[in-house]
Amino acid sequence: MMRKVVIHRAGGYERLRVETAPDLAPGPGEVRVDVAFAGVNYADCVVRMGLYASAKKYVGWPITPGFEVAGTVGAVGPGVDASLLGAEVFAVTRFGGYASQVVVPRHQVFARPSRLSVAQAAAFPAVHMTAQVALFELAHPRPGEHVLVHSAAGGVGSALVQLAKAAGCHVTAVVGSSHKVAAARDLGADAVIDRSTEDLWARAEALRPSGYDVVLDATGVATLRGSYAHTAPLGRLVVYGFHSMLPREGGRPNWLSLAVDWLRTPRFNPLDLTTSSRSVLAFNLSFLFDRTELLADGRKRLFEALDDGTLRPPAVTVFPFEDVAKAHAALESGSTVGKLVLAL
């Protein structure tokens, strides 16, 4: 019997229940991964709260969260080369990752690079593919451009800092607490702004009075207006999350606060975009799983960055599978650095 986390309806940490289910059998063109580690992402917390659009569209209730796993190939379906059995791999999945077994299409399974431990491999694909799409599919930074990265010590932010530096950009990293400053500097950031001790936008303007060529923002309503105001002419603001709208403790959304934040969220006027010569771009990777060429191209670029050392293995904190609620609470607290994974 396999084990998996099941959420039967939206709520707090108590909704994360470990249950058993029959072993999975892969169908044609599919692979079953016997999971050693499952990556934990902030999106999983949003799924638990019932606020994640693609979870509603593709799954509904009950749902097992999780976008990324690492382990070994335990079974293959018809049409998949049997020599893959026993191979050490990592995989991406549109939900279902918090489980001891995951079945996915063959093109979503990749050999584990030697530079990544099994735990690091489980922490790698979701955040690094998000960073890859944000930077190279949307923002297209040029060498010498100035890039501002919010939440720079987190999973996606850490990847963005490194990839932007490798692209020849000047990177300003924004972190939410003082203990994250050293981590952002260690990733290669040219300047670090600590929002807990500094006025974010006064410091950002002092560092770059003419504005930033690329601003990468997953914080949401707390920073979006300022991010747009500090985007330079011909600059690109890339939005890929709204973390500040969600709770930092308790695990339950405050619906009144959410409503107020929704009203406060900027609505970008096409006339202003035109006259200011700024662009606002946005995406959600979980809606793009049918873009197989996107996954393949992104994987190639990321693996090359790993091989040449411009992208380092992610910093990982491991939680026992049964402590999934503690992992969610830690992530929502905003205190974590790097990525969290569950050990099965």
The DSSP line for 212-230 is: EEEEEE-S-TTTHHHHHHT
Q: Would the pLDDT of 305 be above 90?
A: yes
Superfamily classification of domain 2-124+315-343: Medium-chain alcohol dehydrogenases, catalytic domain (3.90.180.10)
Q: Would the pLDDT of 105 be above 80?
A: yes
CATH annotation of 127-286:
3.40.50.720
pLDDT (tens digit, 9 = 90+) per residue, 258-290? 888 888 889 999 999 999 999 999 999 999 888
Structure confidence at residue 75 (pLDDT): 98
Judge whether 2-124+315-343 and 127-286 match in fold: no
Q: How far apart are CA 30 and CA 279, in angstroms?
A: 40
| Domain residue extents for the chain | 2-124+315-343, 127-286
Sign of the torsion angle spanned by Cα atoms 285, 116, 25, 17: negative
Structure confidence at residue 90 (pLDDT): 96
Q: Which residue, among 105, 75, 90, has the nearest Cα to 39 in the 3D structure? A: 90
Do 88 and 122 contact (CB within 8 A), yes or no?
A: no
Q: How far apart are CA 26 and CA 18, in angstroms?
A: 22
Helix then strand then coil, % of the chain, to nearest 5: 40, 25, 35
Q: Would the pLDDT of 176 be above 80?
A: yes
pLDDT (tens digit, 9 = 90+) per residue, 229-265? 999 999 999 999 988 877 776 788 888 888 888 888 8
Q: How far apart are CA 142 and CA 149, in angstroms?
A: 16
- Give pairs for 183-192: CB < 8 Å, separation 24+: 183/153, 183/158, 183/315, 183/337, 183/338, 184/152, 184/153, 184/157, 187/152, 187/153, 187/158, 187/161, 187/162, 187/312, 188/161, 188/162, 189/149, 189/152, 189/161, 189/165, 192/152
Structure confidence at residue 260 (pLDDT): 86
Q: Would the pLDDT of 227 be above 90?
A: yes
Structure confidence at residue 256 (pLDDT): 84
Q: Would the pLDDT of 208 be above 90?
A: yes
Mean pLDDT over the full length of the chain: 95
What's the token pair of residue 201? Answer: 């936008």
